[in-house]
Amino acid sequence: MRLARPVPKLALAALLAVPLLAVPIAADAHRPWLEPSSTVLSGTDAWVSFDAGVSTDPFIRDHAPMQLGGLVVTAPDGSHPAVENQARGRFRSVFDVHLNQPGTWRITVMNEGFFGSWRQNGEQRRFRGTREAFEREVPANAEGLRATAMIGRIETFATLGRPTTENLQPTGRGLELVPVTHPNDLTAGAESRFRLVLDGAPAAGVDVTVIPGGTRYRERPNEIRARTAADGSFAVTLPEPGLYWLGASVRDDKSGIPNVMRNASYNATLEVLP
Amino acid sequence: MRSAPLAFALPTLTIAGLALAPAHAVQARELTVTVEIPRLDVAEYHRPYVAIWLERPDQSTAANLAVWYDVAKRNKEGEQWLKDLRQWWRRGGRELQMPVDGVSGATRAPGRQTLTVGGDALARLPAGQYNLVVEAAREGGGREVVRVPVQWPAAGAVATGSAQGSSELGAVGVEVKP
């Protein structure tokens, strides 16, 4: 790293420490994932248990539990029932969702925050927190300001009975997946279609990575790659039954604050049944 | 380090060997391994962990030659991924107290990497047929094992062998000087 002028040793250490402390997800191949116990259920009422973690290999519990402060469950009728049995383990968080109405349930973890570093009175300062706190504590024209706003959405879906789509519409904030093929109606070997939207508008030219679960038990990651078209659409063929991790991210300057970049990311867990 | 591919290295060496015939007795026995670490076009690249060892025909480990891993990480954190070198770990890696002098080393960059093991280090290796095994495991990537048959010590002339990896390893070459 090249520094414009010498800084005290301590300040330099603080500066170098920033990327490590400030990027809970998205960077450094630490992938956030939700792992549902089931995604297709029958009967009048069912339970789904979820593991939520962050690790290099999706669904492999070997790094960190996911923070669930931004967990929102959306029932088919649009209501937001509370989760049950939430707990945090060493490598993964857990929670249960009681599917007590038919249709598709959307399970979302939103991660939002600002982080940045700047110099003030010759000292290196850094910040991590909410937008409100950022606007309050970080001077608008801070010297050497390097700041990023993060908005990340981590999702999966579970359906009791017949798949529905009412609650799968985009909210218009950050990067989101709009199903063309229903996420609980995927077929091995067939083309599945989706659209990515950024703030509700088509997200064109975005790279999408899909990784089949179970990397531990094979030699190659077998990543599947796609890129969104002008209308934000992309297609992937999921070759065989199993869980799949999907990830995409966009970096732009639409943080809403001058000189602050934005990282919008989207992750989903998709299950393909035999 | 020779930069010529192994296929060309052999005749050159044979000629050199003949020219130096009178000095042969003092020429050290040596085993040289060349490992090509492929340059991969991935979003986030980490250098692979690599283990190189000699195995007996029954696949037990006869000698550990090298383990390239994150030796410099604080609190020996780099050791927590040594188990991802699955075969090496099961066949002796887990018996070792890391780091091991003359065996542990930092991860190597993509390109052609060379490891030379002097005859002294292999003085206790009984004469016989072995497999040189190279195993690579990459964070966020895959895993691959490549084997090359090796006769130790070489009978007379310089002996060479090679094999080709397909994903995490490229060409692997072995050269044994008598």
Give the residue from chain A lying closest to B140, CA to CA: A56
Is B132 exposed, middle or buried (CB count within 10 Å of its CB: 0-12, 13-18, 19+)?
buried
Best probe of the B interface among A56, A216, A218, by most B CBs < 10 A, is A56
| Cβ contact B171:B132 at 8 Å | no
Distance from the Cα of B97 to chain A's closest Cα (Å) equals 23
Cβ pair A114, A92 in contact under 8 A: no
* Contact B144/A at CB under 8 A: yes
Selection from A132, A127, A268 nearest residue A210 by Cα: A268
The alpha-carbon gap from A57 to the nearest alpha carbon of chain B, in Å, equals 7
> What is the share, in percent, of chain B residues with pLDDT greater than 90?
74
CB contact at 8 A, A198 and A175: yes
Produce one character per residue of B61-98: b if its CB has 16 or more CB atoms within 10 Å, e if not.
bbbbbbbbbbeeeeeeebeebbebbbbbbebbbeeeee
Within 13 Å of residue A271, how many CA atoms lie on the same side as its CB? 18
pLDDT of residue A157: 98
DSSP string, B54-88: EE-TTS-EEEEEEEES-TTSGGGGGGGGGGGSHHH
Phi-psi region of B10 (alpha: psi -120 to 50; beta: other; left: phi over 0): alpha
The closest CB to that of A220, out of B46, B139, B142, belongs to B142
The closest CB to that of A221, out of B46, B141, B144, belongs to B141
A29 touches chain B (CB under 8 A): yes
The span from the CA of B84 to the CA of A221, in Å, is 14
A57 touches chain B (CB under 8 A): yes
Mean pLDDT of B93-111: 94
pLDDT confidence of residue A258: 86
| Domain membership of residue B160 as a residue range | 6-177
CA separation for the pair A122, A120 (Å, rounded): 5
- Gyration radius from chain A CA atoms: 20
Chain B residues with CB under 8 Å of A28 CB are 44
The C-alpha atoms of residue B16 and residue B10 are separated, in whole angstroms, by 10
In a domain, B19, yes or no: yes
* pLDDT tens-digit profile, chain A (274 residues): 333 333 333 333 333 333 333 333 344 578 999 999 999 999 999 999 999 999 999 999 999 999 999 999 999 999 999 999 999 999 999 999 999 999 999 999 999 999 999 998 889 999 999 999 998 988 888 889 999 999 999 999 999 999 999 999 999 999 999 999 999 999 999 999 999 999 999 999 999 999 999 999 999 999 999 999 999 999 999 999 999 999 999 999 999 888 899 999 999 999 999 9
Contact status of B84 with chain A (Cβ, < 8 Å): no
Residue B163 is assigned to a structural domain of this protein: yes
- Is the link from the previous residue into A241 a cis peptide, with omega within 30 of 0? no
Single-letter amino acid, residue B135: E
Q: Which of A28, A220, A222 to mutate to test the interface with B (most CBs of B within 10 A)?
A: A220
Q: What is the ipTM of this complex?
A: 0.71
CATH number at residue B94: 2.60.40
* B139 close contact with A: CB closer than 8 A: yes
Chain A residues with beta carbon closer than 8 angstroms to that of B139:
29, 56
What is the per-residue pLDDT across B10-32, written as a single tens digit (0 to 9) for each? Answer: 333 333 333 343 344 335 799 99
Q: Is B140 on the interface with A (CB under 8 A)?
A: yes
Which helix (H) or strand (E) covers residue B53, if one does? strand B49-55
Residue B119 has pLDDT above 70, yes or no: yes
Total number of domains constituting chain B: 1
Q: Using CB atoms, which residue from A56, A207, A219 is nearest to B140?
A: A56
pLDDT score of B27? 55
CB atoms within 10 A of CB A93: 21
What's the average model confidence in pLDDT over B95-103? 92
B1 in a structural domain: no
Chain B nearest-CA distance from A29, in A, is: 7
Determine, yes or no, domain membership for B104: yes
pLDDT of B89 strictly over 90: yes
Q: Nearest chain A Cα to B80, which residue?
A: A62
* Per-residue 3-state assignment (H helix, E strand, C coil) for B81-121: HHHHCHHHHHCCHHHCCCCCCCCEECCCCCEEEEEEEECCC
Which residue in A219, A227, A245, A249 has the most chain B C-beta atoms within 10 A of its own C-beta, making it the best mutation to test that interface? Answer: A219
- Distance in Å, alpha carbon of A164 to nearest chain B alpha carbon: 35
Structure confidence at residue B156 (pLDDT): 85
